[in-house]
Amino acid sequence: MAPRKYQLRKRSEAVEETRRRIIDATFELHNEKGVLATSMQDVAERSDVALRTVYNHYPTVDDLVDGCTKKVIALLAPPTPAIFSGLNTFEERMRQLVRELFAMYERGSVQIAIARCQQGEVAGLANYVANEAALRDALAWEALQPFKPRSRTVHEVAALIDFYVWKAFTQQNLTTHQAEEAVYRSLVALANPEEAGEKGQKR
């Protein structure tokens, strides 16, 4: 390798390593004290770089939040519509819907709670919360789609699988599994195929 190319590669690697350290430090601090309480100076000290270096790579709080997105998504591992593959009955699809979303809430409880609480102050968090809501709505629709649901039924299901529903159960010292079972039973009672649509697939 030519000396110049080698130097450019090493420089690029050093830049990426600095960015990684900054994002790792930001992620830790956000988990510990929230986004609003984390200053750029906090990030610089935790990542062991100069304050100006943090600003060079991430000029604003929103830039830091956006930089943490990959780490958050990797942690949460959000479910996709593929979770319903091979599941044909109403009960199977409802149980899978609740199980997958509540497991995600358990994995990312800290990050989701911070985003929900501080979204009004940080645009990057507001974007995350909006995307999470869109995911939840899309999964509710996908779960019910074979049964030709009414729009209201989809909205009711989406409300019952919200993060705060899971959180309310955990605040009552119930496990995620217990929360899942309770909400699953509620969904079956609320949104059975005969109620979810005019015809629906029989159970």
Identity of the amino acid at 100: E
Looking at residue 15, what is its pLDDT? 85
Say how far apart CA 190 and CA 160 lie, in whole Å.
10
CA pair distance 140, 175, nearest whole angstrom: 22
pTM: 0.86
The pLDDT of residue 2 is 66
> Residue 162, CB half-sphere, CA atoms under 13 Å: how many?
14
Q: What angle do CA 164, 113, 107 make, to 5 degrees?
A: 90
Per-residue pLDDT of the chain (203 residues; tens, 9 = 90+): 566 665 656 677 778 999 999 999 999 999 999 999 999 999 999 999 999 999 999 999 999 999 998 899 999 999 999 999 999 999 999 999 999 999 999 999 999 999 999 999 999 899 999 999 999 999 999 999 999 999 999 999 999 999 999 999 999 999 999 999 999 999 999 877 665 554 444 43
Give me the pLDDT at residue 121, please.
94
Cα-Cα-Cα-Cα dihedral of 61, 64, 69, 75, to 10°?
-100
Dihedral (Cα; 122, 124, 129, 133), 10-degree rounding: 140
